[in-house]
């Protein structure tokens, strides 16, 4: 008789190929591992380049900003400051530094040279103002300012007139004025002289403007403006010639000398501040105060629209 073999059906899958294929963790090959899962960015090329948590470049590491003295002195265009403004700015600049113990800051030598030049400029400026011709120039400048401002105010009122023709005539003349800026009377001497001359030519030669002047009977105002402007220019040129002959040291040259000492002082403060290795820098306070002063004068210059640099010889 043949022997009966036992039935192995319940556990018949005994071949190696029949074992379960690790269903719970099937990705056993190296190439099957997920590349961009938490903590598995093992290759340099697999790191995301633009994610907040993976910026590993040198420039992205936090820096100790306390050791970087980034505060510097603000700049200003000294050329376009009028003489009175220029002198006051320099005196204020020195005054602020004097309040911050310049000897301790090691800038007293530069400050002394700067103050000396500022004093020389102030004395020359006062001498120019005391000149009789200067007084005449100032008076004539005020006269023409009053004339141009009076004309503008007159036209401004009529620009709201209930009669259409008067309103239109006022707007035509105001438009002609606006071509030369909103502050003709605030321009420097020579610029204002040229502007008024050009405006008077427009009023006389352009038919629509000449008609508007006639309609408003503005000719007496126009004559006053022309007379004041002509007399001013004559007096100004005579005063400039006389002043230049009598004074080898003009305000222009003295301003240039003062500029040299100003920049030397300003640059020394910047340089010493930059070299400070242990914060806080002792120069922070004086730099912030000087920058506040400079910002005020820069605002003044921004609001002076379309005004070219003043001839530094002229005191204003």
User: Which has the higher per-residue pLDDT, 240 or 10?
Assistant: 240
- Is the CA virtual torsion 155, 161, 167, 171 positive or negative? positive
The DSSP-derived string for 241-285 is HHHHHH-SS-HHHHHHHHHHHHHHHHHHHHHHHHT--SSSPTTHH
* d(C-alpha 127, C-alpha 243), whole Å: 10
Using alpha carbons only, how large is the chain's radius of gyration in Å? 40
Q: How many domains does the chain have?
A: 1
Under 8 Å between Cβ of 232 and 141: yes
Q: Residue 24 falls within a domain, yes or no?
A: no
Residue 28 has pLDDT above 60, yes or no: no
What does the pLDDT read at residue 145? 96
The pLDDT confidence band at residue 133, using thresholds 50, 70 and 90, is confident
The pLDDT confidence band at residue 10, using thresholds 50, 70 and 90, is very low
Q: What is the dihedral of CA 235, 238, 241, 245, to 10 degrees?
A: -110
Dump pLDDT digits (tens) for 69-112: 567 899 999 998 988 899 999 999 999 999 999 999 999 999 99
* d(C-alpha 24, C-alpha 19), whole Å: 13
Ranked by mean pLDDT, which of 40-44, 156-160, 304-308 comes out on top?
Answer: 156-160
User: Taking the complete model, does pTM exceed 0.75, yes or no?
Assistant: no
* d(C-alpha 302, C-alpha 300), whole Å: 6
**Residue 27: phi, psi to the nearest 5?**
-80, 80
Under 8 Å between Cβ of 118 and 258: yes
Dump pLDDT digits (tens) for 41-74: 444 444 444 444 444 443 443 444 444 556 789 9
* d(C-alpha 196, C-alpha 189), whole Å: 11
Q: What is the overall mean pLDDT for the chain?
A: 80
Cα 52-58-60 angle, rounded to 5 deg: 35
Residue 314 has pLDDT above 50, yes or no: no
User: Which has the higher per-residue pLDDT, 60 or 227?
Assistant: 227
Q: What percent of the chain has pLDDT over 70?
A: 72
Q: Residue 38 falls within a domain, yes or no?
A: no
What does the pLDDT read at residue 16? 44
Residue 309 has pLDDT above 80, yes or no: no
Residue 149 has pLDDT above 80, yes or no: yes
The pLDDT confidence band at residue 114, using thresholds 50, 70 and 90, is very high
Dump pLDDT digits (tens) for 253-288: 999 999 999 999 999 999 999 999 888 999 999 999
Cα–Cα distance list, 234 to 78, 224, 228, 282 (Å): 28, 16, 10, 54
Average pLDDT over residues 145-155: 95
Structural domain boundaries, residue 237: 78-302
Q: Residue 16 falls within a domain, yes or no?
A: no
Residue 186 CB: number of other CB atoms within 10 A? 15
**Long-range contacts of the stretch 241-248 (C-beta < 8 A, 24+):** 242/131, 242/133, 243/128, 243/131, 243/133, 243/134, 243/313, 244/313, 247/124, 247/127, 247/128
- 43-47, 87-91, 210-214, 290-294: which has the minimum mean pLDDT? 43-47
* Residue 144, C-beta contacts closer than 8 angstroms, at least 6 positions apart: 185, 192, 196, 225, 228, 229, 232
The DSSP-derived string for 60-72 is GS---GGG-----
Residue 312 has pLDDT above 80, yes or no: no
- 97-101, 181-185, 221-225, 239-243: which has the minimum mean pLDDT? 239-243
* d(C-alpha 247, C-alpha 130), whole Å: 14
What does the pLDDT read at residue 252? 87
Q: Residue 71 falls within a domain, yes or no?
A: no
Q: Residue 22 falls within a domain, yes or no?
A: no
């Amino acid at each position: 008789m043949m022997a009966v073999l036992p039935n192995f059906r319940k556990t018949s899958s005994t071949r190696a190929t029949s074992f379960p294929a690790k269903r719970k963790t099937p990705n056993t090959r190296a190439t099957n591992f997920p590349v961009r899962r938490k903590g598995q960015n093992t290759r340099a090329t697999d790191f995301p380049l633009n994610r907040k948590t993976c910026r590993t470049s040198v420039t992205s590491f936090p820096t100790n900003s306390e050791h970087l003295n980034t505060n510097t002195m603000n700049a200003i265009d000294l050329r376009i400051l009028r003489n009175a403004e220029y002198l006051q700015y320099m005196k204020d600049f020195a005054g602020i530094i004097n309040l911050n113990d310049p000897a301790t800051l090691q800038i007293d030598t530069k400050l002394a040279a700067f103050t000396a030049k500022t004093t020389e400029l102030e004395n020359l400026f006062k001498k120019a103002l005391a000149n009789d011709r200067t007084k005449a120039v100032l008076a004539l400048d005020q006269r023409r300012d009053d004339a141009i401002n009076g004309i503008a105010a007159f036209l401004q009122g009529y620009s709201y007139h209930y009669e259409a023709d008067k309103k239109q005539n006022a707007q035509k003349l105001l438009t002609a004025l606006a071509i030369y800026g909103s502050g003709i009377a605030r321009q420097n001497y020579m610029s204002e002289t040229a502007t008024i001359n050009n405006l008077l030519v427009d009023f006389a030669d352009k038919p629509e403007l000449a008609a508007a002047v006639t309609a408003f009977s503005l000719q007496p105002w126009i004559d006053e403006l022309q007379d004041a402007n002509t007399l001013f220019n004559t007096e100004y040129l005579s005063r400039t010639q006389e002043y230049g002959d009598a004074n080898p040291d003009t305000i222009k040259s003295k301003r240039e000398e003062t500029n040299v000492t100003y920049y030397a002082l300003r640059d020394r403060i910047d340089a010493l501040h930059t070299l400070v290795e242990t914060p806080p820098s002792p120069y922070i306070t004086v730099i912030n105060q000087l920058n506040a002063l400079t910002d005020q004068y820069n605002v003044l210059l921004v609001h002076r629209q379309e005004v070219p640099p003043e001839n530094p010889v002229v005191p204003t």
